[in-house]
């Protein structure tokens, strides 16, 4: 039998906000205490969370008892993003595509791209890209006195079509060198991140096989395969496309209306001779700091892919 005092306390905690008092001086508060970080759920993209809640048949997310409630606008934006990805039907429930997306432990755009790769016969390559993007960054930021040495070691791994294809080169080279940590250190690569990418890729492949999605054989390197990889990625990241507005690398993000620049360690900056910036690009993510917006992962697009 449950203790009545415990039940009373439980009900009380559901209605009364908890607080913790700490006695200190105003000087200590202003100068010594770091600012409290905002809970991640109030700042992060909620598309994946909403997708999982939909899978659990939780229709009214406004009634969910979040520890820190996200803004209603963030929930509406997540629903809108899922609708763009065809994850919802006309009634707001998960579509067949949405159900498959919820099976994959990936952010919705990446899950949609992986599903689209079944149509374009590039599942093997998209599995690698998804694993590498989900794992921590594989490139180690070198000290200032070794930047040129790091760039020299990375150039053989670079792909002319951008960072996503370069990640495939890095992953394949890592396997070809038997997952050697010495090789990783020599090439300024994060061995633990690559090990995790191998685990993530195996897990994704297992999920694909469990839900009986077709897995195409590897074909990386031929032109048709590169085009198909781009088409699959566009299926999930069509909202993350940018255009070079003046031919000098100032990219206008079509959805956020920010102007962004290539990341200093992007494959385009490391190549020699350095190529001219592509006119259209697909990006995985971007960061904003000091009024400057920088892409994290970039893929060159051509009109035939759109």
Is 5's pLDDT higher than 50?
no
- Top mean-pLDDT range of 51-60, 127-136, 257-266, 287-296: 127-136
pLDDT tens by residue, 11-43? 545 554 556 666 677 777 777 777 766 655 555
Burial 202-216 (b: 16+ CB within 10 A, else e): eebeebbeeeebeeb
What's phi and psi for 100, nearest 5 deg?
-65, -40
CATH superfamily, region 1-103: DEAH helicase family, winged-helix domain (1.10.10.2130)
pLDDT band at 146 (very low <50, low <70, confident <90, very high): confident
Rounded CA-CA distance 298/279 in Å is 12
Rounded CA-CA distance 279/251 in Å is 9
- Top mean-pLDDT range of 62-66, 115-119, 143-147: 115-119
Mean of per-residue pLDDT scores for the chain: 83
DSSP letters along the chain, please?
---HHHHHHHHHHHHS---------HHHHHHTSPPPPPPGGGTS--HHHHHHHHHTT---GGG---SSPPPHHHHHHHHHHHHHTT-B-TTSSB-HHHHHHHHSSS-HHHHHHHHHHHHTT-HHHHHHHHHHHHSPPSB----GGGHHHHHHHHGGG--TTBHHHHHHHHHHHHHHTTT-HHHHHHTTB-HHHHHHHHHHHHHHHHHHHHTT---PPP-BTBHHHHHHHHHHHHHHHTTSEEEESSSSS-EEETTT--EEE--TTSHHHHSSSPPPPPSEEEES-EEEETTEEEESSEEEE-GGG-
Domain boundaries, the chain: 1-103, 106-306
pLDDT recorded at residue 74: 84
* pLDDT (average), residues 160-185: 94
* pLDDT (average), residues 165-179: 96
pLDDT band at 71 (very low <50, low <70, confident <90, very high): confident
pLDDT tens by residue, 256-278? 777 887 777 777 767 777 777 78
pLDDT recorded at residue 245: 84
pTM: 0.82
- Find where tokens 């970039």 sit: 298
Output the CA–CA distances (angstroms, integers) from residue 28 to 23, 34, 38, 220, in the order listed: 10, 10, 21, 58
């Amino acid at each position: 039998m449950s203790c009545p005092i415990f039940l009373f306390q439980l009900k009380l905690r559901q209605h009364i906000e908890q607080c913790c008092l700490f006695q200190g001086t105003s000087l200590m508060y202003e100068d010594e205490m770091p600012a409290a970080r905002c809970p991640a759920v109030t700042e992060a993209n909620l598309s994946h969370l909403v997708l999982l809640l939909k899978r659990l048949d939780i229709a009214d997310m406004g009634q969910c008892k979040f520890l820190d409630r996200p803004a209603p606008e963030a929930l509406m934006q997540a629903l809108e993003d899922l609708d763009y990805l065809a994850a919802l039907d006309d009634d707001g429930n998960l579509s067949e595509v949405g159900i498959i997306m919820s099976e994959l432990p990936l952010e919705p755009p990446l899950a949609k791209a992986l599903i689209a790769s079944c149509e374009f016969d590039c599942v093997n390559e998209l599995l690698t890209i998804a694993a590498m993007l989900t794992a921590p960054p594989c490139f180690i930021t070198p000290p200032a006195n070794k930047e040129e040495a790091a760039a020299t070691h990375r150039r053989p791994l670079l792909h002319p079509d951008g960072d996503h294809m370069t990640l495939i080169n890095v992953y394949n080279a890592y396997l070809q060198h038997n997952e050697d940590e010495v090789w990783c250190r020599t090439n300024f690569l994060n061995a633990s991140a690559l090990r995790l990418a191998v685990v993530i890729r195996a897990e994704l492949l297992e999920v694909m096989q469990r839900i009986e999605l077709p897995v195409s054989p590897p074909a990386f390197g031929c032109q048709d395969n590169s085009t198909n990889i781009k088409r699959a990625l566009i299926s999930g990241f069509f909202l993350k496309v940018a255009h070079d507005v003046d031919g000098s690398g100032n990219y206008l993000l079509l959805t956020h209306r920010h102007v962004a620049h290539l990341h200093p360690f992007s494959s385009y900056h490391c190549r020699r001779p350095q190529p001219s910036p592509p006119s259209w690009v697909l990006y995985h993510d971007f960061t904003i700091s000091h009024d400057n917006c920088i892409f994290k992962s970039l893929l060159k697009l051509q009109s035939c892919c759109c």
